[in-house]
Amino acid sequence: MSTRKQGASAGDRVYGLLFVPDPTTDSSKQWNLSVESVRRGFCTPKTLGGGNDDGDADANGGEDYERALQLAYKEAVTSQAGVHSSKPVVRKLTNAGDEFQAITLVEKSKRLCTGGSVKCVIEYVFDGSRYRCLVTDPELESAGLLYGSFTLILAGVACPRVGNPRLNPPSPSEPHADAAREFVELRLLQRELKISLHGTDKSGACLVGTVNHPRGSIGCELLKSGLGRISDWTIRMMPPGDVPPLRIAENGAKVSFTFFCELHLELEQAILNTILLVTREPTWVFLNHTRPPLSLELLSLWEQ
């Protein structure tokens, strides 16, 4: 990288030229990143110099640099590259609930998309079961839903909510919320995946769906790792054949004590130095002077 003289109004900014190895030929040859960006139509040059430049610009190769920019600009215009094309590739982003109805995306994806699943990019992970998605499926371009942005609620699974530090006072995260979000980010973030949409929430702004990962179900993995629980209202939207794997994953986590670990720890601490009240009902009540009474339903023992 070579630096150039800054103008009188530049303040503490320093302008420079960035060079990168040429990936198409010998690596010893250097590309001028600005010139190559102009040649590909990613940007357009602006006039260099002005009243603030003097002879130092020529000493630093200013005329050669400007000549290379203009030559690259003419090549881009002639070849109609990038922004100079007759139909520039411009992404018009739309938001569910504002520019289009969320239920419309559900209906169009089932009718127009191959297999009834829409191709999307997971752009952001709010928590383990809520994501921000961007539609990249070209089959929805005719419906005007390409590059539509929406919030996805993972069907069948509910994960702990991540706190919001920007509130006053800040809201804390629920137990295991950060672990669940990190678990999903490592597997889904910025990946283009197929999503099967089942419906919307009560507000009609968020969509409920299943993420079809090539390696398996992210919902099952969350339940298996004890980072979520079954969500009754979203699991009702799923096809009946997709429900048993989620139930099996949750039951397996319960057996291995990886599901709701905080509850097991709280129960263990409550049993220590407590008074056990045994009633005629199928409930044990643990009394401790340092915590509220903790009740434990023994339904399985009562049924036996």
Q: Please report the pLDDT score of residue 280 as a whole number.
A: 42
Least confident of 65-69, 211-215, 246-250, 254-258: 254-258
Banded model confidence at residue 197, pLDDT cuts 50, 70, 90: very high
Percent of the chain with pLDDT strictly greater than 70: 73
Q: Please report the pLDDT score of residue 27 as a whole number.
A: 63
pLDDT digits (tens, 9 = 90+) for 119-165: 999 999 999 999 999 999 999 999 999 999 999 999 999 999 999 88
What are the residue ranges of helices labelled H in the chain?
33-39, 55-59, 62-79, 102-112, 177-188, 218-224, 232-235, 243-255, 261-271, 299-303
Q: What mean pLDDT is predicted for residues 223-247?
A: 94
Banded model confidence at residue 11, pLDDT cuts 50, 70, 90: low
> What are the tokens at 252?
């397996």
Q: Please report the pLDDT score of residue 259 as a whole number.
A: 46
Banded model confidence at residue 261, pLDDT cuts 50, 70, 90: very low
Q: Please report the pLDDT score of residue 63 as a whole number.
A: 81
Q: Is the pLDDT at 170 greater than 50, yes or no? A: yes
Q: What mean pLDDT is predicted for residues 176-184?
A: 94
Q: Give percent helix, percent strand, percent coil of the chain, each to the nearest 5.
A: 35, 25, 40
Q: What mean pLDDT is predicted for residues 178-206?
A: 95
Q: Please report the pLDDT score of residue 53 as a whole number.
A: 47
Q: Please report the pLDDT score of residue 152 as a whole number.
A: 97
Q: What is the mean pLDDT of the chain?
A: 80
Specify burial of residue 118 (Cβ count, 10 A radius: 0-12, 13-18, 19+): buried
Q: What mean pLDDT is predicted for residues 288-303?
A: 45
Bridge partners of 120, per DSSP, are 135, 193
**Domains identified in the chain and CATH numbers:** 2-84 (no CATH), 94-255 (2.40.50.90), 261-303 (no CATH)
> What are the tokens at 151?
């919030």
Least confident of 19-28, 168-177, 194-203: 19-28
Strands 148-154 and 207-213, by their bridges, are parallel
Q: Is the pLDDT at 304 greater than 70, yes or no? A: no
pTM over 0.95: no
Distance CA 17, CA 92 (A): 32
Q: Please report the pLDDT score of residue 62 as a whole number.
A: 72
**Residue at 205: amino acid letter:** A
Tokens 């006072």 sit at which residue?
A: 169
